[in-house]
Every structure is written in C-alpha cells, then in structure tokens.
Structure 1
Amino acid sequence: MKIGTRALIGASISALALAGQAHAQQVSAPAETTAAPTSSEADIVVTANKREQKLNDVGLTVAVVSGAALKNQQINSLSDLANVTPSLSFTNSANGTPVYTLRGVGFYEVSLGAYPTVSTYLDEVPLSFPVLSSHSAFDLERVEVLKGPQGTLFGQNATGGAINYIAAKPTNTLKAGANLSYGRFNEVVAEAYISGPLSDTLKARLSGKLEHADGWQQSNSRPGDTNGKVRNYMGRLLVDFAPTDTFRMLLNVNGWKDKSDTQAPQYVGLQPQQVFLDPDTAAAQFSPEKPRAADWTPGLPYRDNSMWQASLRAELDITDTITLTSLSSYADYKQNQRDDGDGLPTLGLDLVGDRGRIKSFNQELRLSNGGGAGLRWVVGANYEHSKVDQFIDQNLDDSSSSETYGIALGYPFFSVSYSTRQKMENYAFFGNVEYDISDQLTFKVGARYTNASTKANICSNDPSGNPRNTGALFYDVLLGGRLGPYAGQCFVINNLPRTVDGVAPGDPGAFVDELKQDNISWRAGIDYKPAPGILLYANVAKGYKGGGYPVVSASFFNQYLPVTQESVQSYEAGFKATLFDRVLQLNGAAFYYDYKDKQLRSKLLDANFGILDVLQNIPKSSVKGFELEANLRPVSGLTINSAFTFIDAKIDEFSGINAAGVAANFKGARVPYTPKYQLGVNADYDFPVSGSLNAFVGAGVNWRSDTVAVIGGDINPTNATPQDKKLFGIAAYTLVDLRAGIHSSDDRWRVSVWGKNIFNEYYWNNVVAATDTIGRYAGKPATYGVSLSYQY
C-alpha cells in the first residue's frame, strides 16, 4: 500500500476522532434502527441516497429483498438473487466470475480486472471487481438493487445499476441464531451468528456460513463420475464502537474460502477453426439436453480461491444536522483454479491453471446534512487504488490448430501461457442536492467527476526448450527464425503502426500501455406527492463505466487494445402507490436508455489460429421498457408479490465479428442476456394453528422469455453443426419453487421443507465458443430439502 494511501486513512480517522471528542456533549446519539421484518413495503427502509429513507419516499427504482426472504426462499447464490429480482439477469461465465445484466446493460468479460456495469457494495463499501462479491450474501438485513446509471452517490461508476448488501448489525442486547439446511446432493448449508454488547460503548456481531454439497453434474463418458461439489466457508465480524454521543465507528472484517469445483459446460455444437480436427473431438457426441449432463477432462475442474476484506466506517456529527463520514476499505483476493472450456474429456481448450491476485484499496470522505431538512445535500470524494494480476496456462493439445500445425508444419503445439498485470488509480468528487419546493414537490440534482488511469503489462510466453510450446512456433514459423531460437520471451507480435514501449512493428514483445480517461456523470429529477401514499418521479441521468484491458490468448498486439469507457443516457418516469389502507402496493416505471460505446467481448479472425478473443466497443445501442410490481396483502398473513418486466434492447450500430465468429452488420440485433419479457409471482401464507404455533406455505414462479448469449446469436456460424437450432440462443424457461413448514408464534424456532426448480426444468444462462466447441452452462436441476432455524 502506498504511503499516501496510509496517510489518507490515518488523517481521515484521526480528524474524525479528535473532532468527536471536542463535540462530545453537543449532540445526542441517534436512535438504533432495527432489522425486524416490516408489515408493508411502505415501511421498508433503504439507503439508496446514502441516508436511511422509507422505500416509498425514494424517487428511484429500487428492488429490495429482505434478510427473512433470503432465508425463507433459500436464496444462497448470486443466480438465486437474480431469479427473484425483476430485470436482473445472472450469467455464469466460463471461469465462474459472476456477470450481471440489469435492464439490458451488462458486460460479459471474465478477466479479473474488468470493472462491472452493475457494481456491488457491502454497506456502501465497493467490491470493485465482480469476483469479490461471490460469497457476500449471508447474515444480511436486506439487499438493495438500484436500477439505472449510478455514480453520483456511490464510489464506483456503473452504467447498469448497483447492488448494495446490507449486513445485519450488532444489537443492543444479546442475541444468537442458527440455521441448518439439508438437501439433495447431500447439500448442507449451516449459518449462525451471535450479537450483543461488550460494554456501554462497544458491541459486536460474529457470523459465519458453511456450504457443502456433492457434485451434481454427471459425466457423459465416465458413468459414476461427478463434478460440481461445493465447499464454501464464509465469516464476518462487525464491531460497533461509539465512545461519544457524536462519534461512531463500525469495523467490518469479512472473508471467504471457495474450494468448490468449477462448472463444466455442455458440448452442444462443433465449430472447427482449422482444416484438421482431432479424431477424439470429431468422434465426440453432443451432450444430452438434460440439467445434469456434461463432460470434462478427468480431474481438471478445481478451485481454491479466497478473499478477505476490512472496512472502517467512521461518522462524526459536527453539528445537530451535519455529519462527516469516512469509509476506508481494503480487499485482498487470491485465485487458483482450473476450468474445462470445451465440455469434452479431451484437451481441446482447457485452462489448466488460472491464477490471480487482486489488491484493492478504497477511501471515501463525505459531508452531509440530516434527512429532515427541506434542503438535503451531500458532498464528498472517492479514491481507489487497485492492483490486479492474472496468469493463465491454456492447454490446446487436442484442438484443430494443434492438429493442423502438427500435420502441416511439424509443430503440434499444446500449450500457451499468458498474463496481464494491471494497476488502476481512480479519484472522484461528487455532490447531490434535494430541495423540497413544497410539501408535495422535490427537486433533485447531483454530479460526479471521475478521473481514471489504468496501466497494463500484457505478455504471452512459455517455458523455453520444449518444441511443442507456442513460443517456439512463433519464433521458428511465424517470425521465420530471424530472431533465433525461442528462449522464454514474450512472443506476441506487434502489428500496430507504432512502436509500443520499445517493441517495433513486426517484432514480438510485451504490450505495455496506459489508458487515461475522465467523465462527469450526473442525475436530475423531480419527485411529486399528489396525495398521501402516492409518489410520482421522473429522472434524467448520465452514467459511465471505465474502460480496460483484456486477458486473452493473442497472436498480435491488436488483441490487447483496451475498450474505452461506455456511457448510458437514461430517461425514466415512475410511480409508487400505497392503496386501500396499505393492502395493495403498486410500483411502476418506464425507461429509455441511449447506450453508447457498449463494451463487448467479441472475436477477430486470425489467419493463423481462427477466431480469437478481443474486446470491442459497440458504437450505439438503445434500451426501452417498463416494469410493473404489485404487492398484495388481502388477508392477515397472506402476501402476494408479482412483477412484470418488458425490455426491448437493440443494437443500433455495429458491424464486425461477434463472439460466435460471425461477421455481419448487426444493426437491429438483440442485446445479449436480456429477455424481452419477465414475470415473477411469489406468495406466502402464514397462519396460526394454536396459541403458540403457526404454519406457513409459500410458492414462487419465475418465467423469462428467450434471449441470446452473443450479439447476433440468432445466426449460427456457417461452419458450425448442428444447424437446426440456435447454437447461441438461451431458451425461455420457468422455475417453480415451493416451501412449507411450522414455526413458533414468536418465530424463535422454525422448521420447513422446500423445493427449488421442482419440475426439473432444463435451462441455461450462457453459451460460449471455445476454439472448436460450443458449450452451454446449465442451471441446477430440481433440489429439495429441510431447514431448521433457532433464534435466542
């Protein structure tokens, strides 16, 4: 960590502490908020505007999932969260890095150092890179999903939205609880916490979660062999320290360990890249279209990843209404995993090593006044310094490229190693104002200036001395032997019309470059309350997402070129209405996005190796749609929630090669991972059986229409087989969940039985081209089990 970074943390905390002592007798401590379930959406408290507000007073589209719902509906993963959140889609990437698409805005990129379009936070602290959020959803008070461009108030620009995990906080009295669940595939999920005061000024909460399960994927070629075991361990310690009435600190130390198997794709299509195909690949049968069917190289899928994070929130009440807040955090992530890329027991394209490291520091300082004033404001600054390294060893021994080069030139290369080292430094200044023109009308405006710099050092090199390494092929064949024998150097060739860090055009070497960008994101809007319980709002916003460099297997420098920042101009109008004495809650919003320079992982056609990965900007896209939600409580204990989403997301301008290797003009093509229609209904009924016992039943149905995994996914590559189905399409699907049980009237204990995807629907959320094969990433089959919980 840089000296300046340490100084910034120390100065901000010291200043807050000293000022807190000076003002200790001036302001009384704020009342403790509770995490108890609310009886109506009108009571739900959120922090979308960096202060606590009732959800129905927030003129933004915010989806909220309570901690109780997370447990009762067995929401244990990021894909589960997406299934219950309207307009949010989860994509399982080839290496397990989570990818979110919200209202058609997403960035499918598996590099560790890629910033997301939907940013994630833990108590407003940014988890700057998607993989850091993989196991954050435990012991939560709620999850808030903010839709539309973000950046004016949060510490990371995002064009799609933001997900804020709100951790359950330390309590004023001693409390403890545990939940144990057992289900299909010997799945064991155990979660526990203990919380309470340690002194008059100190309280703490310790929580943890364990997930164990056997493999759910079955090998098509080796009966009895399974993949997909789960071994996850999570923990969090929160320490709340309030030495004076005006000064508060919250320390959050959390982390996780993931030793699960990486998922294998289903081999559903053949797309040879060279003349000669490996005999085993040519003879391979397509995978059965069943949830559990798959194949992989024996013993390959493996994961040993870990993350820890520490954050410190310090708050000082300078006056009765003005508060200074400091948010400091540091995250450290280590990755060591192996991924099967081709869905076959052969080595067509497998990542036999995928190692990486993320070190990320974030600091925010902001000043704001109280939420009760007619003029509410916040000003502040953010700083981020991150270092991201990734090293990949790729085996292509059974690929058509290896086969062809072996037959034609006597160079049957089998491996390639490539790496990217990146350093990111971003700083920003932001401000936001809300002014009540009258009791009914509020005007809102905010802006954020961001300056971002990314430095990259990218190299492909192999151990020297082995004639089957790719480096030898480059030096002996592609470079004609003019540089002598290969000796472990970076071998990718500079095909740019300029010298890059000393590497002249036509020569091989490391690609060293820096991307500098800045932008101003902003939001303006009006809230109108024509009657009690009714809110009408309209917002116009501009959001950005920074550019970056890819981690790809390359032959020329043009594959290393970065994508520049993308932007979304958003227009949105909506309403929130609490009707019939809070029996019915209706929410709706219509929106239009002008989406420019969308970042896309695509392909280019390489004369030597066929289609290879590259990052590109799509000049222009557009998204329009609307959302409707209804929450009904017709009788005591019965709650029915429903949501319908329509999204029309199109490419307006793009000619090139898509991620399937198809060259075309894609004007009018669908934006990937964005179903046009989504419908979700969830119902829960809790009723008394006796004076001390209640019973409950519940059901959830989620339907999504078809979509595509790549731009132009409705078009098959001409050299691919079979041709009688959309190889890069994602079919429509319906998931049905059920639950039932009993609990004590004070909810101290609870017993339930549950089922997820009870009709064993076969569905998938991604399709990837991997050299010669096309593979689907299927969703889990039907699961069911029993859960026990107890709270003290």
Structure 2
Amino acid sequence: MSIRKNMLFIGTALGAMAWSGAAVAEEPAGSPAGAAEAGVEELSGAEAEGQGAQAEGDATPESASEPADSSRKLGVVVVTANKREQNLNEVGVTAAVIGGPSLEQQNLTSLDQIATRLPSLSFAKAPNGTPVYTLRGVGFYETSIGAYPSVSIYTDEIPLPFPVMSTHTAFDLERVEVLKGPQGTLFGQNATGGAINFIAAKPSDEFEAGVTATYGRFEQRELSGYVSGPIADGLQFRVAGRAELADGWQKSSSRPGDTNGEVENYMGRAQLAFEPSDSLRFLFNLNGWAEKGETQSGQYIAQQFQNENIGVPYMLPVGAFRDPAILATPFAADNARASDWSLSSNLLGPGKVPFVDNEMFQASLRADFDVGTIGTITSLTGYTEFDQRQGNDTDGMALNALDVPLTLGDIESFFQEIRFANDPANPIRLVVGANYSTDKVSQDVTIDYANSSATLGFGSLFGFPLSLTTVSNSQDMSSYAFFGNVEYDVNDKVTLKGGLRYTKSENDTTICQSDPEGPAYPFGNVLKFFGTLYSGDAFVPYSPGECVSINVDSESPANTAVDYLAYGETGAYINSLDEDNVSWKLGADYRFNGDVLLYANVSKGYKTGSFPTITGSTLNQYVPARQESVLAYEGGIKATSLGGALQVNLAGFYYDYTDKQLRTKLNDPTFGQLDVLRNIPESSVKGVEVEVTARPVEDLVVNAAYTYLDAKVDRFIGTNAGGDPGIDFSGTEIPYTPENQFVISGNYTPSLTSSLNLLAGVTVSYQSDTIATLGGNINPTTVNATSVSCVYCIDGYTLVDAQLGVEASDGRWRAFIWGKNIGDEYYWSNVVSGYDTVARFAGNPRTFGVTLSYTF
C-alpha cells in the first residue's frame, strides 16, 4: 500500500519539477492544429489532435477540391475503434474524440465532466458515489463496486473493468475516445452501450516538460505537470502527476457555517517505452490515484412512506412509527449547495459520516512484435487494484434515516490479451485474438437507519429495534474469449466488415446480510428474529456477523428461495452464474467522390449477468439478473464539404433489447418495498445523432452536436418506487435517458501580435428531462412532497462554460480565466429513496478560476 501511495505523490512532485525543463516539443497552440484542439471532435473527429499522429500506412485524406484557404481545412483524428489506428472519417463507426489540450483548456478533470460535452453520454452519481454512464440510452445502474457496466472503460486498451476505477483517470491524456453502439466483437461482452478509451500521453523522443496550475472558487487548488524524454537509445520515459485540493461547497441547513465536499485527490502515471529493435516495442505503465476528502451528501426533498399493506412494521396506520425529528426536518431548498449530513453514526460513533479514503493502482505492459511485413502481434497485460473505505450520507439530513457510514471494498483484476493484426495497407485487414480476465471483488456495506420507521416499528411491535445492517458480497469472476474482425476493400469505394466473438464467463458469489452489533445492541439482546417469523421456533440470540436473511421467496412466501437451507432458516446466499454467448457484427462502407462515406452496421452484443449488493431480508432478493442482449441496427453518413472546412455527420440507430438488467422494487413481507435487480423482458432504443463541425475562418472552429433518444420498456410488470404492485410499465421511459441532448461550442484563437494569440472558447450543453427510477414520471401513492411536483424526475438543464485568455503563438505558455455553469443552473443527476426519505444528488454550482500553464 505504501508503495502505491509513494508512486502517486512522487508522480505529482516530478510533474511539478518541470519548471526546470528546457526545450519545446509541442505543436504551437496558435497554429491551425493547435487552434483546432480546443473543440470537441464529435462523430467525425473533425479537428486535428496536437499529439494524435496519423496512423502509419494511412494517407491523410484529401478533399476532391482544395479549399480556397487551405488553413481552414479541418484536420485528421485517429481512433482505435478497430484496435488499430485509423482515420475516423474513413471508417464506418460513430465516435467522439476530445483532445488533451481541450481537456486542459476547459478544465475537464473527470469523465462525468467530459460527459457534459458529449451528447448521448449521460452521467449519474449513485448514492455511494459510484459513477454510472449511459451511452445512447444503454447503461446499467448499480451502486455496488463489483458490477460490470454496459459502457466499458479502458486506459490504452487495458480495461478498467468497474466504473469506480475510472474516477480520476482523466489526466495527462492525448485524447479520450468514446465509441458509440455495441462494441462486443472487439471490446468484449460488457460493451453493449459502447466503449470509452483514455489514451495517455506517451513518452517522447525529445525532452519536454510542462506544468499547469489552477486556482478557483471554493479554494480550488490544482497542480499538474509532466516530464518526458529519452533515457538512452531506444528508451524513453514519461512521468506525470496531478494534485487537486478544494474546500467544501455544500452548506449545512441545520449548522450555519458547516460545509461538506472537501476535495483531496492525487494522481500519478509513470511510463517507459523501450524499442530494442525496429520490429519489437514495449510500453510499461504504472498509474494510480488516491482520493481523501469528503463524499457528496444528498438533498432531502420528500417523505417516502411505506405502503401500509406491506411489511411487518406497517400493520398499524401509516405514520404510526414516523420519527418526529424526520417529520420536523424541512426539505432542502432548490439550491445546489443546500444539504445536510450526520456528524455521528451508531456504527462508528462521533465523526462526520461523509468521508472518502479510496485508492486505485494499475500496472500494464504492452508488447508489439512486427512479423516481417505480414503484420503485428500485440500482447496486453494488466493488473489493477482498488481499495475502498468511505462513508456516505444518503438521506441529506442531520439524522440517521438512511446513512451508509462505512463501506469497505477491495478489487483485484488481471487481464491478458494476445492478438494479431495484419498490414493496415492490405485490402483485407484482419484482427484475431483471445483474452482472459479474472476479477475478485469483496464489498461490505453497513447501513444506519436508526431514525427510520423500520427501527421504530420493529422496536414498538416486537421489542426488536433494528438500526444497523451490513451487506457483504464476495465475488470471484473469470472469463475468456476468442475474437476476430475483418475489413475487406472490395474496391476503392466499397468496404465490407464482419466480426465474431465467443465469450465464456463465470461468477461465484456469496452474499450475507448481518447485524454488526449482535448481542451488544444497546436496546437489549438481539434475537434471531427473522427466521422465527416463518419457522415458528422460539427467539434465540445470534452472533454479530451471522447471516440473517430468510430462506423464503418474498413474492411467494410459502416457498423457499434456495435448496440448501430449510424453509424459514437464515443464512448466506451462495450461487454461481455460468454463461456464454456469441457476439457478432456485419457492415458495409461506401465512399462517394472521396468526400462522402455511407455506412450501415448490424450487430449483436451481450452484457454478463450480475448479482446485486442490496439489503435483502429474504434470500430470493439476491437472485442474479441473467445476461442481457441487444440487436443493434445503425446507418450513417459522413460528408466533407467546402474543401475540408466543413464536416457534417448523421447517424440513426435502433436497439432491440432482450432481458435488460434494471434496478426495480420488490414488496418484502418484512420491511416493505426494497430493491431488487430484474431482467426487463423487452425494451428498445431508437435515436438520431447529427453533428456539424466548421472552420469558417482560420482561427475559428465551431461544433454543434445533437442526439435524440426514444428509450422505452416494451414489456414488464412490476412494483414502483412507492411499493405499488402490479404496475404495467409498457411504454415507460428507461431511466437516465433524456430524449434530447445537444452541445454547441466555439473556439477562437486569432493573433493579437506576432507572438501572442487570443484564447476564447464557449460551450453550451443541454439535456431534457429524464427519470431516476422506472415509472418515476408519476409520483407513488406513498410519497409526501410539498414543494416537488415530480419526486423521481430529473429536470432538464442547460450549462454554459467559457474560457478567455492569451497564449504564446509558439505554444510555450497559456494564461486564461474559466467558468463552469456560469448561469448557476440548479440541476441534479440522480434521485434515490430510503425507508422514509427521498433525496437528490445535485450537480456543482457555478465555479470559476484562473489557469496558468507553461511548457519547456
């Protein structure tokens, strides 16, 4: 552990040492390429990347007619959508690319901030901070750290198999690639929505260094830097680091002057590139991050009464067991900073509940061996660790209505891939390979609900006031796959494409729900209460940590849930998932007059099944959701006009989903409504994307992108968030899928003098309304909200960001002021319910600051 911490701090320190550097190696920021970097290369990647070189063997595409002013011509962007570098405008895939200088200028330091620049990519923050990414309406909302996503994430093609690992990966990057639509044949079964690839800046042949410092609102202090260059002939290095510090931005509604949300993050990366011969290359990468500060707390917006017809504590009239302190707590104001949090818990005693102490470490090795002129064999090896220790205040109150004071987690992942790609100049381009991965995940989540109706109800009715629950989930996952992809140039106009992948996966899981206090419970002896409700045995004590979920089917209480325990007995849930599938893709590209590319693709992709990490009084709540599949159809056009100064792209798609995995509700006979992971039998997504990038004059680049989504459940009957059963959700919107999203951006960098350029940029992003839970557009009958008309709705919002400053024409230095959410728009990305409360998780308020950067 200490080695990883030292690596992170050393990386940051060495990056700051760039002040002592010498030579300049970057593209001058005032050049056409440098100017283009500040824009978003959406769909076509229409603007040049300063460090993104054209793939070897690919010719820079020339327009049929040169522009009147060649300096207006948009540049070339390279992507690795087919696991080889290609010019994005020459392949029939839909992708978005943001360059490293754009990330720096717009101060985008995380994937959730990047998502605001990319229509069709949506971000939601789970109550415990786990990021959830939805791409084109395809995502997987799960709060546990050990759930595979539907949008897979990579660093230089090395997987970050779980979203929580990506939290602080966006630093010292060459670019970020977002590949849209199922990517199952080349990127695996958990890429039904798409794949996101962070491309790190690589070691350089000549010495170069740089440092960037930022100061902003809420005492935001950031320092990043890098040093890169040769060590010996054929051996180069790059070391980069970043530190982020800030004071709390949330304000307590019950304790004036108390704040929450302190930031303390450290990131580091060290790389060695070794080329012992012209045909053999190695890249070794050590990277990681640590976050210390405080987790965001919720905003209490509504009371969530349990359904009076469901659950043991609710046999008396609604409200009989409500804590007066909850009823007296006012709802949060419509302000991003308004919140509250607990200063103690029944588990840890006095101490602020929101805190974080998480770490991630990754080591990877890439080896490329050229087999003469035939092609290249590539080996990718990666090992990743993640350690979690944090607390979260979910209810947004100074009470313990629903807090998670302690979450402990651990992940160890190993990945190995070997593949062969032939010469990219060949009219038949092949990629074939195999990979193997293992993931060991353990997570212990302790929930404190001492002020909830569950505690009061059980205490009043049975003398058994439950207040703490720990859910432990231990998973041992493995998979292997064989894949192949082919592109065949029939002639200079037509390319046919196809891909196939076979995947076999296993997941052995043990889930245990327990009371961590056992007989030491302050209200008296804790008794083995749950099982006696069904077995009829006498109450008996049990030990702390003993698994207490009942072997009962909560939806058919006369039946058992598992066959290794007697009816009504308590114990752990033990099960395995053993699945396999075949993903495939077929497509064709047609080039017309050298300036227009038409493409059509059809593909089948899969996401592996998953076990939930939830509180479950009965064992059948832990039954996994089996693998989901999607049949995707997509067609589009990429057109270059005005001699390369204008790029227009249009794509339409239709996804036919089977067994989509979705969090819904279940009416538990003991506690009332609780979470459960379900397969939605049938659902679908239809959509259109359009993007226009133009350079009307040499120094101005304008980009506009729009996404329309129609994501619906086609067939499912279940329970809503208020415990209302038998709801027909046919035609209901899929959560976290706004119907309309657009981004408009402009970057203007004219020369002020022979050595100085203006730096001006603005971005306006919008997303329309969506919902946070299935059927969330209609308030459940059990909700009491005086100031919120739609409790589980996520209202649409518009964000405006801007930058203004100056930069040296040779790219040596840059100074600018920036602002995010300039209009101080109040918006939120998620709404969650507890036993008695509903809370929002708001986006950041207006922030602003100044950034200085210098390269040597």
**Equivalent in the alignment of 1:308:** 361
Is 1:761 the counterpart of 2:825 in the alignment? Answer: yes
Moved over 6 A (4+): none
Go from structure 1 to structure 2 and tell me whether the alpha carbon gap of 1:616 and 1:62 turns closer, same or farther (over 3 Å shift): same
Q: Does 1:700 align with 2:763?
A: yes
**Which of residues 406, 430, 437 in structure 2 aligns to 1:353?**
406
Q: Structure 2: how far apart are the matches of 1:521 and 1:498?
A: 36
Question: What SS does the aligned partner of 1:465 have?
Answer: helix
Partner of 2:853: 789
Distance 1:411 1:40, change over 3 A: farther
Letter in 2 for 1:311: S
**What is the SS of the residue equivalent to 1:554?**
coil
Tell me how far apart the structure 1 counterparts of residues 493 and 138 of structure 2 sit (CA, whole Å). 33
Q: How does 1:225-304 map to 2 (within 5 A)?
A: 225-273=258-306, 274=314, 275-298=320-343, 299-304=352-357
Structure 2 stretches of 5 or more lacking a match? 1-48, 55-71, 307-313, 315-319, 344-351, 554-558
Structure 1 residue 608, shift from structure 2 partner: 1.7
Which amino acid in the other structure matches residue 327 of structure 2? Answer: A
CA–CA distance in structure 2, aligned partners of residues 655 and 503 of structure 1 = 30
Q: Which residue of 2 aligns with 1:132?
A: 165
Q: How does 1:33-432 map to 2 (within 5 A)?
A: 35=51, 42-273=75-306, 274=314, 275-298=320-343, 299-432=352-485
Report whether the alignment pairs 1:491 with 2:548.
yes
Give distance in 2, aligned partners of 1:480 and 1:263: 44
CA distance in 1, matches of 2:152, 2:74: 24
Cα deviation for residue 531 of structure 1 reads 1.3
TM superposition shift of 1:464: 2.7
Q: Structure 1 residues 718, 132: CA separation in 2 closer, same or farther (over 3 Å shift)?
A: same
Code of the residue aligned with 1:484 in structure 2: it is V
The one-letter code of the counterpart of 2:548 is F
Structure 1 counterpart of 2:652, from 590, 594, 609: 590
Contact 1:234–1:255, Cα closer than 8 Å, also in 2? yes
Tell me which of 639, 649, 654 is aligned to 2:701: 639
**Aligned partner letter, 1:138:** F
Shift of 1:786: 0.3
Amino acid at match of 1:717: P
- Which residue of structure 2 aligns with residue 10 of structure 1? none
> Distance in 2 between the 1:453 and 1:51 partners?
29
Q: Secondary structure at the match of 1:242?
A: strand
Question: Which residue is equivalent to 1:624?
Answer: 686
Write the letter of the residue equivalent to 1:70: L
Distance in 2, Cα, partners of 1:460 & 1:479: 19
Q: Which amino acid aligns with 2:99?
A: S
SS for the counterpart of 1:119 is: strand
The amino acid that maps onto 2:174 is E
Q: What is the distance in 2 between the residues matched to 1:712 and 1:347?
A: 28
Deviation at 1:472, TM superposition (A): 4.1
| Deviation string, structure 1 residues 13-69 (Cα, Å, up to 9, x no partner) | xxxxxxxxxxxxxxxxxxxx9716998655111111111111101210001111111
Larger RCO, structure (CA 8 Å, separation 6 or more): 2
The answer to whether the 8 Å contact 1:471/1:491 transfers is no
Q: For the structure 1 residues 380 and 386, does the alpha-carbon distance in structure 2 shift closer, same or farther, using more than 3 Å as the test? A: same
Counterpart Cα distance in 2 of 1:590 and 1:95: 35
Q: Which residue of 1 aligns with 2:502?
A: 449
Contact 2:297 2:841 in 1 (8 A): yes
Equivalent residue, structure 2, for 1:653? 715
More off after superposition, 499-508 vs 74-83 = 499-508
Structure 2: how far apart are the matches of 1:301 and 1:761?
Answer: 25
Distance in 2 (CA, whole Å) between partners of 1:471 and 1:50 is: 58
Partner of 1:686: 749
Q: 1:746 aligns with which of 764, 787, 810?
A: 810
Q: For the Cα contact (< 8 Å) 2:242–2:267, is it kept in 1?
A: yes
What is the alpha-carbon distance in structure 1 between the residues aligned to residue 52 and residue 625 of structure 2? Answer: 45
| 1:399-430: CA deviation from partner (whole Å, max 9, x where unpaired) | 00111111222111211112010000100000
1:141 and 1:690 map into 2 onto residues whose CA distance is 29
Deviations 1:515-565 (A, max 9, x none): 111111111100010111211110001111001111111100111100001
Q: Which amino acid aligns with 1:686?
A: T
Structure 1: 5+ residue stretches without partners: 1-32
Aligned mate of 2:641, from 579, 584, 595: 579
SS at match of 2:519: coil
Is structure 2 residue 776 aligned with structure 1 residue 719? Answer: no
Indicate the residue corresponding to 2:46 in structure 1: none
**Residues 590-617 of structure 1 deviation map (CA, whole Å, 9 limit, x = unaligned):** 0001011111111111122111111101
- What's the secondary structure of 1:758's corresponding residue? coil
Task: Please give the alpha-carbon distance, in whole angstroms, between the structure 1 residues aligned to 2:774 and 2:533.
Answer: 35
Q: Distance in 2 between matches of 1:581 and 1:256?
A: 45
CA contact (8 A) 1:416 1:470 kept: no
Residues 413 and 473 in structure 1, CA contact (< 8 A), matched pair in contact too = no
Query: In structure 2, what is the equivalent of residue 568 of structure 1?
Result: 630
Shift of 1:662: 3.9
CA distance in 1, matches of 2:74, 2:456: 61
| CA-CA distance at 1:505 after TM superposition | 2.7
Q: 1:482 to 1:728 in 2, by over 3 A?
A: same
> What residue in structure 1 maps to residue 32 of structure 2?
none
Which residue identity does 1:196 align to in structure 2?
G
The answer as to 2:576 corresponding to 1:523 is no
| Counterpart mapping for 1:440-479 below 5 A | 440-462=493-515, 463-467=517-521, 472-474=528-530
Distance 2:133 2:476 in 1: 24
Cα distance in 2, alignment partners of residues 40 and 729 from structure 1: 44
Contact kept in structure 2, 1:42 and 1:578, CA below 8 Å: no
Could you tell me how far apart the structure 2 residues matched to 1:480 and 1:746 are? 82
For residue 487 of structure 1, report the CA deviation from its aligned partner. 2.4
The answer on whether the counterparts of 1:203 and 1:241 sit within 8 Å (CA) in structure 2 is yes
* 3-state secondary structure, aligned to 2:294: coil
Aligned mates of 2:214, 2:73 — CA distance in 1: 28
How far apart in 2 are the matches of 1:46 and 1:198?
29
Separation (CA, whole Å) in 2 of partners of 1:411 and 1:510: 22
Q: TM-score, normalised by structure 1?
A: 0.94
Moved more, 109-118 or 721-730: 721-730
Residue identity opposite 2:793 in structure 1: G
CA deviations over 1:275-301 (Å, ceiling 9, x no partner) = 410111111111001111111112110
User: Alignment length, in residue pairs?
Assistant: 760
Q: Partners in 2 of 1:758 and 1:470 — Cα distance?
A: 54
1:180–1:479: structure 2 CA closer, same or farther, 3 Å change rule?
Answer: farther
Which deviates more, 274-283 or 782-791?
Answer: 274-283
| Pair 1:672-2:738 in alignment | no
- Contact 1:349-1:395 at 8 Å conserved across structures: yes
Q: Give 1:321 shift.
A: 2.8
Superimposed CA distance per residue, residues 669-721 of structure 1 (whole angstroms, 9 cap, x where no aligned partner): 11111111111100110011111111121111001111111111111110111
